Structure 1
Amino acid sequence: MGDVTPLDAARPRALEFFAGIGLARMGMEAAGFRVAWANDYEPDKKAMYDAQFGETDGHSFALGDIGRVLVSDLPRDVSLAWASSPCTDLSLAGGRAGLAGAQSGTFWHFIRLLRELGDDRPEVAVLENVTGLATSHGGDDLAAAIRAFNDLGYSVDVLALDARRFVPQSRPRLFLVGAQNPPEDIAEPNSELRPDWLQWVYGDETLRTHRAALPAPPAPMHTGLGSMVEEIPLDDERWWDRERTEAFVASLSPTQRERVATMRRESGVKYRTAYRRTRGGVAVWEVRPDDISGCLRTARGGSSKQAVVRMGSKRLQVRWMTPREYARLMGAGDYDLSGARNNQALFGFGDAVAVPAVAWLGEHYLMPLVRGALGKASARVAMVAND
C-alpha cells in the first residue's frame, strides 16, 4: 500500500479486532477511516490479509490470541474500535454457549482492552455478530454486552442489517454501536433496522441506549446470483460427473426435484445455490428457490460448503462454489486470491462480515459520530484558547 499520505493521515484511525481476512477494514476504509492496527489468531487469515493489503506504514497486525494482547500494544489517538468477535457460541449452528463460550467469550478481552485504554478510549466502539446474540440465553447475553459498553461510558444502539441489501446473499447480522457522545435519540416507530424483536432493548431502563436517525437502507435483493457466478466452461473438471450429479438429484425432496426439473426444462440459464443437510439421519441436498445465495459459512466440513446449480435448456450441472464467487458475494470481488488455497479462502470469507454492510454503516453512522465528536473537541479547545 505504500507510505501514509497526508490525506490518509487526516482520516480518523480505527482498531480492527478479530480482523480475519480484513473485510471490515475494506468497509471502514471505504467510509473514510484508516485502520491503524489489527488482530487475529489464525495464520491462514493473516496470510490472506497480508496479500490483500501488503505492508502499510502506520499499520500493524498482532497475530495471536486476543487474550495475550496488552493495552500497550495498541496505538493511541484512534476514533473507532471494530470487533467482529467469533459467533461460534451464538449461532444456531453452534452449541449456543453464548458469551460464556470459549470462542464468543473472547468478546470480554475486547472490553478489557477498551477499559484499559482509559482516557484514550475511542469515541465509537462497534460489535458485529450473528443475530443469535439477541436471543442467546433469553436476551441476557445481549443485555450483558450492552452493559459492558455502558460501564465504559458508551451508549449503545442495536441494528439488524442483512448483507442481502447490498449483495445477493442472505446474511443477517447484528451491530452494536457504542458512542461516548451519542446523537439525540429519536422516538421513531420500529424501523427496518430495529425490528420488533429488538425493541425490548430500548425499553429496558437498566440499559443506556440511543437510536440514531439513519436513512433507510437499500431494499433487500431478490435476484442477482447469476451476476456473481464465474463463467466456467461446461467441460471443466470442477463440474460434477454424471454419477455424482444424479446422486445429487436423487437426494432432493419430491417438491425440490420437481422445481429443479421445471427450471431444467426452461430456456435460458438459471443459477441456484444448494446446501447439504442431514434430515432424519440421511444426508440430502436442498436447493434455494430464489435467485440469491444462502449464507456463506466457514468450510469446516462438507455440510457447510455451498454448491452452485446451473439449470436450463435441458441441462443440469452442479459444482462447489469457488473462492472468487465467495469474494463477490461478500462485496470483495477484487480481493487478491493469488496465493490462497481453496479451503483457506472459503473459510476466510465464510467467517467474515460483508464489505458493503460495513461501508454503509461507516458512511451513514460511524463517520458522522466521529466527525461530530471531533468537531465538539475542536470547539472546546478553541474556547479554552480564547479564555
Structure 2
Amino acid sequence: MKSVPTDPDTSKPTAAEFFAGIGLVRLGLEQAGISVVWSNDIEPAKEEMYLGHFGKGEGHVFRPGDVGEVKGSDMPPRLDLAWASFPCTDLSLAGWRRGLSGSESSTFWGFTNVLREMGKDARPPVVALENVVGFATSHGGEDLATAIRELNDLGYSADVLTLDARRFVPQSRPRLFVVGALNPPADEPVPNSELRPDWLLAPFGDPSLKTHRAKLPAPPPPLTSGLSDLVEQVGPDGWWEDKRREAFIASLSPMQAERLEKLKAQKSLTYRTAYRRTRKGKPTWEIRPDDISGCLRTARGGSSKQAVVEVGEGAVRVRWMTPLEYARLMGAGDYTLNNLRSNQALFGFGDAVCVPVVSWLAEHYLVPLLLGKLQTRTAPELAVVNG
C-alpha cells in the first residue's frame, strides 16, 4: 500500500471521483480531509452545476465525457482513492434490473478499466463504489459478486456495507457501499448488523471472493423527524391553486384522506412529503406518515418528484419541493443554486450522494484506512486473502 505523503503541501490524501455528478461526494470527502483532484461526468447539466459551485480551481481537473474514453494515463500522478458512484438505472428495484450488463450500469467496467490501465504500481490503494441497495440482489446477488471479483482481480479485497441518509438528514435514502483495499484491515469479530445486515452478508460467505469487514463505530441512529425544520418558506404564489390542490386531495385513498384530515385538525402547522403513484391504472397521491422525506429521485417526470404538503389549523396547501429543499435534504444546504433551472437542480440532487453519509464513511473508514490507522490483518489472514 502506498503511503500518504506528509509534506505540508501534499499532506492530504487525494481522490478522483468518477460519475461525479454535481460534486456532493467531493463535498463529503473534503469535509473529512481528502483532497479531490480529478473528476469526471458525462452530463453537461451536471458539469454546469459542478463548475458553478466549485469553479475551475487550480489543482483540480474536471474531465467531461464518457468514462469509457478515460485512460489510465489521464489520472493524476498520485492518487490515493478512486470513488465511483456509477449509474443505478439497471440495478434499481424500480428499473429493468438488467444489472452490470445494462447500458448505463455497465459503465462500471469503464471505471475498472481505468484502474487496470493505471498499472499495479500506480493504482490507488483504496477504491469506493456507491449504488442503490438493489445492487446487492440484482441477478440473485451475482452482479455484486461480479463487481467484487473484478476488484479482486485488480488486487483489492472488498468490504460491503449499507448506510441510510436518514441517519444524518430527514430523508429515507439507503445506499450500498463497496470499499476495496490493496492492504485490507482486520475483520471485526462480529458483523455489525447496522452496517452489514443479514441481506448483505452473502459476499462474506462466498469462498471465491476476497473480502474483509473493517471494524467501524456504529452510525448515528435513524432520524424520526426534521423535515419541517428544512422546509423553505415560499410566498402564496409558490403553492398550487385551489383546483389542483383539490384534485390532489380527491386522488387520496380513504386511508390517506383520513391521515390528512387528522393532520388538518391539529392546531399547528406540520409538513409532509407526497409521491404520485399509479394504483390500479389510476394516478394517486400518497402522503408519508412521518416528518421525513421520501428518497429524492431524478426529476424526469411528475411521478419522480415529491410534493410538500403543509397541513394544520384547518387548512391544506400543496406544492412541488424546491431546489433548496433538495439541497438541504442532501446535506448541501449552501450549494450554489443561482441561475439554475428548477428541473436541472432537482435532477442533479436527486441523482447524487448525501454529503454527511460520504463524510461519515470517509472520516471513520477511508481516511483511517489510507493512513494505516485501522487494525491490520495478521500474517495468516493476509495469506487467506491473497490466496
The bucket for the TM-score relative to the shorter chain is over 0.9
Match of 2:189 in 1: 187
Indicate conservation of the 8 Å contact 2:73/2:117, yes or no. no
1:225-262: CA deviation from partner (whole Å, max 9, x where unpaired): 011100113x2x12001111010000000001011011
Tell me the amino acid that sits aligned with residue 115 of structure 1: R
Match of 1:223 in 2: 225
Distance in 1 of aligned mates of 2:49 and 2:308: 24
Match of 1:110 in 2: 111
Tell me the amino acid that sits aligned with residue 255 of structure 1: M
Q: How is 1:244-263 mapped onto 2 (pairs within 5 angstroms)?
A: 244-263=244-263
Q: How is 1:367-378 mapped onto 2 (pairs within 5 angstroms)?
A: 367-372=367-372
Match of 2:143 in 1: 141
Q: CA deviation at 1:373?
A: 8.1
Match of 1:307 in 2: 307
Distance in 2 of aligned mates of 1:214 and 1:288: 32
Q: 1:161 aligns with which of 157, 160, 163?
A: 163
Distance in 2 of aligned mates of 1:28 and 1:232: 32
Q: 1:170 aligns with which of 166, 169, 172?
A: 172
Secondary structure class of the residue paired with 2:332 = coil
Indicate conservation of the 8 Å contact 1:16/1:25, yes or no. yes
Match of 2:68 in 1: 67
Indicate conservation of the 8 Å contact 2:127/2:181, yes or no. yes
Match of 1:364 in 2: 364
Match of 2:338 in 1: 338
1:70-128: CA deviation from partner (whole Å, max 9, x where unpaired): 22211121100000000000112211101100000000111111111111100100000
Q: CA deviation at 1:9?
A: 3.1
Indicate conservation of the 8 Å contact 1:190/1:196, yes or no. no
Distance in 2 of aligned mates of 1:11 and 1:289: 44
Distance in 2 of aligned mates of 1:222 and 1:373: 34
Distance in 1 of aligned mates of 2:109 and 2:65: 16
Q: CA deviation at 1:222?
A: 0.7
Tell me the amino acid that sits aligned with residue 107 of structure 1: F
Indicate conservation of the 8 Å contact 1:276/1:285, yes or no. yes
Pair 248,8 (structure 1): closer, same or farther in 2 beyond 3 Å: farther
TM-score after normalising by structure 2? 0.93
1:261-293: CA deviation from partner (whole Å, max 9, x where unpaired): 110111111100000001111000000011100
Tell me the amino acid that sits aligned with residue 305 of structure 2: K
TM-score after normalising by structure 1? 0.93
Q: Does 1:56 align with 2:57?
A: yes
Q: 1:206 aligns with which of 194, 197, 208?
A: 208
Match of 1:352 in 2: 352
Distance in 2 of aligned mates of 1:295 and 1:168: 10
Tell me the amino acid that sits aligned with residue 350 of structure 1: G
Q: Does 1:77 align with 2:101?
A: no
Indicate conservation of the 8 Å contact 2:39/2:63, yes or no. yes
Equivalent pairs counted in the alignment come to 369
Comparing 159-168 with 66-75, which one deviates more in the overlay?
66-75
Q: CA deviation at 1:10?
A: 1.9
Q: CA deviation at 1:197?
A: 0.3
Match of 2:128 in 1: 126
Distance in 2 of aligned mates of 1:42 and 1:9: 31
Secondary structure class of the residue paired with 1:38 = strand
Gaps of 5+ in 2: 1-6, 377-387
Q: CA deviation at 1:339?
A: 2.1
Tell me the amino acid that sits aligned with residue 61 of structure 2: S
